[in-house]
Structure 1
Amino acid sequence: MDAALELFRFAGYQKTMIIDITKKTGAAKGTFYHYFPSKEAILEAICTRWATEMATSFMLESRQLTTLPKLQLFITRLFLPTQLNILFKRLWDEEQLNLYYKAWRNLVEEVFNPLIADIIQQGNQEKTMCVAYPQETIAFFWSTLSCIWEAIFFQEPPVAIAIKVKLAESLLERVLGIKEGAFKITLTSYEIA
């Protein structure tokens, strides 16, 4: 998976062939197919590995946190620059939009949504959130964050990103029933090559 990620990032997903991955690793083509039925399958495995590692690290670090710091940490972790960002940018640039959206949707549904659902449940219990429809609210959560992600992804000016972050804070407060002004999104310096 590391070899495939490196090739996808630098050569591009379309230009990378399975034979390139096997040559880079010194493995036989049959070995590749033993673990992955296709190039798309290894792409999905790379994405899942990243999401699972991120989720595990987040859960360990956030165990003792109350709801709002936990949600802030989750968003901060989500927006940390990673090798996967470059991979997603390559997929976008190569117009592999179906792969891009499928990979991201799988991560959200399988790995991240359960974390957000737990945060919402904790927030409702602590009375720092008031969410009547958790599943529907989660969809709005992702739509709001996607505006920030796309601003970063397409390298909008820092002022535009800052404005979108402020709007996202306000929208998430409303959607999640958080007291106005109580929620902040902190992003580290961000750049996608």
Structure 2
Amino acid sequence: MTDPRTDRTRQHVLSCTARLLAREGADSVTFSRVSQESRVARSTLYRHWRSRDDLLCTASLPGFSPELLNGQLGMRRFLLNYLLQTGAGLTAPGAQAAFVNALHTAQTNDVLRQNLRLVAESFRRILESRLGPMDSWDHARIIGPVFFQSVVMGEQADGPTLDRWVRDILAMPRHGGVHDEDPDLRPTGTE
């Protein structure tokens, strides 16, 4: 169990980073600037985040509500909230630029690429907690529309769009790695 003071400090730093990101853009997020904004020593920042990109990526991720994470919602409301909260996090001020920057940097930065994979896995685990086992193909079919709407289009999906996505998700076959779809429709070399 982590010290509550450590958790509060991390949340404070992430909040300051998100504000700096929204106000001045991704280029403004440096350990020096975040230290100055948050009034937390740079050495503390380095203990929690290995690099500026790691901090930037973490600060731009959506925070999920406790009721979403602890199984209090029915399946439909769980999916609606998951998609809504994911979209809200990705369309928050500065988040789109930070996420695109992280994707670009991850092409040549193994640590950041691994961090992005860990983020994707944590998102998938949240879904699996309610939907059961799924592979990356299943996960991409669920999160893909939100990612496109939020990161590419730069806007959050409206209620009717989210309702349609949830209906589609509940109707799609999921087999946790075994797909009975037409193999000609799947890219070659996939799981």
TM range (shorter): 0.5 to 0.7
User: Superposition RMSD on alpha carbons, in Å?
Assistant: 3.8
SS at match of 1:86: coil
Contact persistence 1:140–1:175 (CA under 8 A): no
- Written as runs of structure 1 = structure 2, the 5 A alignment for 1:116-135 is 116-121=127-132, 134-135=134-135
Selected match of 2:121 from 95, 103, 109: 109
Is 1:85 matched up with 2:97? Answer: no
Shift of 1:14: 1.3
**Which stretches of structure 1, 4 residues or more, deviate above 6 A after TM superposition?**
none
- Equivalence for 1:138: 139
Aligned to 1:15: 28
How high is the TM-score relative to the length of structure 2? 0.58
Give the aligned partner of residue 180 of structure 2.
Answer: none
Structure 2 residue 77 is the aligned partner of structure 1 residue 72? no
Q: Note the residue ranges of structure 1 that are not aligned, 5 or more in a row.
A: 122-132, 178-193
Give the match for residue 98 of structure 1: 104
Residues 114 and 55 of structure 1: CA distance in aligned 2, closer, same or farther (over 3 Å): farther
**Once the two structures are superposed, what CA deviation does each residue of 1:66-93 show, in whole Å capped at 9, x if it has no partner?**
42333233223333x4597212223368
Structure 1 pair 31–71 and aligned structure 2 pair: CA distance change class (3 A) = closer
Against the structure 1 CA distance between its residues 113 and 11, is the aligned structure 2 distance closer, same or farther, given a 3 Å change threshold? same
Aligned to 1:175: 172
Give the distance between the partners of 1:68 and 1:164, measured in 2 at CA. Answer: 14
Check the 8 A contact 1:12/1:90 in 2, yes or no: yes
TM-score by length of 1: 0.57
Say if 2:73 is the partner of 1:43. Answer: no
Residue 28 of structure 2: SS of its match in structure 1? Answer: coil
**Alignment-mate amino acid for residue 138 of structure 2:** T
Identity %: 9
Tell me the secondary structure at the aligned position of residue 134 of structure 1.
coil
Distance 1:166 1:56, change over 3 A: closer
Unaligned runs of 5+ in 2: 1-12, 107-111, 175-191
C-alpha distance 92-35 of structure 1, shift in aligned 2 (>3 A): closer
